[in-house]
A and B are shown apart, each in its own frame.
Chain A
Amino acid sequence: MGDLILLSVSSIFVNNILLMQYLGNCPFLGVSKKMETAVGMAMAVVFVMVLAGVFTWVVNTYLLKPFEVEFLRTVAFILVIASLVQFVEMFLKKSIPALYAGLGIFLPLITTNCAVMGVALILNKEEYDFIHALVASTAYAIGFGLALVLFAGVRERILLARVPKPLQDTAIGLVMAGMMSLAFFAFKGMA
């Protein structure tokens, strides 16, 4: 039990997927201009990332490893993620239309979100068992959502500030992300 708690804390803060492992930066900078879209994206990613982590773990353990076709890992994972996103989209549209309306446009974008693929690869590289894989992917997903929502808050404030012209938009966003990353960097001392 103790190691599961340790694993989740280290995955949320110390190895934060966005700020420490540099994964998923395109949506991080793309949708963080408004709090609403950031929350929508964070929820969609949490949802898909946990499912993708579990499914790719199953594919890797029960399909790729027994048949010794691990070189197909990249192709298999991306297909699992792409079809999963498609399936989640169809399922939500049919059964929970309210949630679909909220997440709608963000779902297709997740297919090319490297954080989802990245988590799938990390889980299988570390060779976790099922429980650890589940906990780790949930924790990574929470870390992603946390960083994205925090960053959206910072970015909304920057809109009010007078930023020099060449630094506007993405450039200042990246510098702010660096500052936030510095804050998360401090967690490394804890581990």
Chain B
Amino acid sequence: MAKSAVQEFTKGLWAEIPPFRLVLGLCPVLAVTKGVETGIFMGIATTFVLVCSNVIVSLLRKVIPKGVRIACFIVVIATFVTVAELLMQAFAYSVFMKLGIFMPLIVVNCIILGRAEALASKKGVGVSFADGLGMGIGFTLSLFALASIREIIGNGTFYEIPVFGESFQPFTFMIEAPGAFVSLGLMLCIMNLLGKK
């Protein structure tokens, strides 16, 4: 039990790191990685929702009837998204405004529903918790990596602190929509080059 929980945790960090290995939940990845700050906050919010919904779904797995399980999962997820939304509104209002509609859109992030369906509805609470935490941290790391690249090249700053000298001309292509697609594609390519293990 303990060993398998550790395995579930670590696989989210590398072997199945979302969104690179599991190509799910791309929309927030593209949209919020304009800057490191929004990337990190989005990652934390997603991790919170993922862990909570995994635990609750796992606890309720014997109660929920098979036929309406997707609807039940969505209600559980939507509840935690609302909690996260209200918390962020209270404690990090400026980031909340920057994230805009992508905060409520965590509801339709396929990673969360995917984990509820594939794992939490079948396994125990401990394993589901470990899986949610691992996947969430993996997702946050991916967002952080992509956001760092885009912000440093596209804006010449890191966490809004300038990293290059005055003479640096920002390559704004990277922080606009086309740059998001291209940089994510190239990162996928690099991950493929590095291999599965």
* Chain A residues within CB distance 8 Å of chain B: 19-26, 29, 71-75, 77-79, 82, 111-114, 117-118, 121-122, 125, 165-168, 170-175, 177-179, 181-182, 185
Contact = CB atoms under 8 A, between A and B. Distances in A.
Given A114-B108, A185-B176, A178 B185 contact: yes
Given A19-B177, A82-B74, A112 B182 contact: no
A74 B188 contact: no
9 contacts: A23-B27, A75-B79, A82-B70, A117-B105, A117-B107, A117-B108, A125-B101, A168-B192, A175-B182
B104 A181 contact: no
Interface residues of B, number: 41
A44 to B, nearest CB: 16
A45 to B, nearest CB: 13
Contact of A167 (B27, B109, B189): B189
Interface of B: 23-27, 30-31, 70-71, 74-75, 78-79, 81-82, 85-86, 100-101, 104-105, 107-110, 113, 176-182, 184-186, 188-190, 192-193
Contacts of B193: 166
Given A71-B86, A174-B188, A24 B27 contact: yes
Given A26-B25, A174-B181, A121 B176 contact: no
B178 A170 contact: no
Contacts of A167: 185, 189, 192
Chain B contact residues: helix, strand, loop or mixed: helix
Contact of A170 (B74, B85, B110, B188): B188
Nearest to B23: A170
Determine which residue in B74, B113, B185, B186 has the highest number of CB atoms from chain A within 10 A of its CB, and name it: B185
A26 B186 contact: no
A157 to B, nearest CB: 17
Given A78-B78, A178-B178, A25 B26 contact: yes
A161 B78 CA distance: 43
B26 A29 contact: yes
Contacts of B105: 23, 114, 117-118, 121
Contacts of A118: 27, 101, 105
A173 B185 contact: yes
A22 B78 contact: no
B188 A171 contact: yes
Nearest to B190: A166
Q: Which 5 A-B pairs have the closest CB atoms?
A: A174-B185, A178-B181, A178-B182, A166-B192, A175-B185
Given A22-B180, A178-B180, A171 B101 contact: no
